[in-house]
A = this chain, B = another copy of it.
Amino acid sequence: MQTDIPVEKTPAGRRRKRVRDSIIAAAEKVFAREGESGLSIRRLAEEIDYSPSAIYKYFESKEELIDQLKEAFFERLMDRVDTSSNADRPFEDRARACLITYVETATNRPYHYAAAFSSIEQKDECTPAAPKNWDEFMTTNKGKAFSVLVNMVEEGQALGMFDRALEPVHAAKSLWASLHGLAQLVIHVPHFERLIPDDGSATTTDFITFHANLLIRGLQARPTAEAKDKQAGQGR
């Protein structure tokens, strides 16, 4: 039986954990380089010198294995974004750094990030593992990374730097979408960073910074024309 509850105190438990970790390590190695398509159970088995069927004593399916890689990745992402947002710097710097860190961490492990958003939503109640409501979502590492964004928006509003008319969760979702989109384009569109008419000296980092600045601009409170702004920010 695959007991996810840690029973690692007994020698057998330790041995089991070692094998399990070696599977994950091997999977991580090939997945980071070649992604889901390069990772086959048989290849994995060969790499760790076991038979293919042995792997099924440790993981229910290939999908479960990959899910673990993804979850571990999002833990890392969450950690890094959280660290950025807690640095000892002025708010605007932290905010910018936070956004930039998200995109850079995502693009540094393209296969992980891409795979994490590769399954499609089925409308008629299907995927039993998918978080259905707010609370469930917030317990995942994906959700925790998102909550960092929400906190950031709220802090900016408290400081009077961001428009208080914006609903924080809505604004954070919008931010998330914008960051996610940039990460995906960098990952999936060949040479996205140099997709400009003239030169080719532009780096990905430069553009990520540009994007982050533009996003922050959109959130910033405006000194004038308040009524119009409120309407614009409210979303119909």
Q: What are 20 pairs between A and B in contact, CB < 8 Å? A: A110-B121, A120-B187, A121-B188, A121-B190, A127-B190, A131-B190, A134-B197, A169-B196, A173-B185, A173-B211, A176-B181, A176-B185, A180-B184, A180-B185, A206-B236, A213-B235, A215-B218, A217-B218, A217-B233, A224-B224
Within 8 A of B (CB), among A164-203: 166, 169-171, 173-174, 176-185, 187-192, 195-197
> A235: nearest residue on chain B (CB-CB)?
B210
Nearest CB on B from A52, distance (A): 22
Tell me the number of copies of this protein. 2
Mark the stretch among A70-78, A79-87, A111-119 that contacts chain B: A111-119
Contact call B181/A207, Cβ cutoff below 8 A: no
Binary interface profile of A, 17-56, with partner B (CB < 8 Å = 1, else 0)? 0000000000000000001000000000000000000000
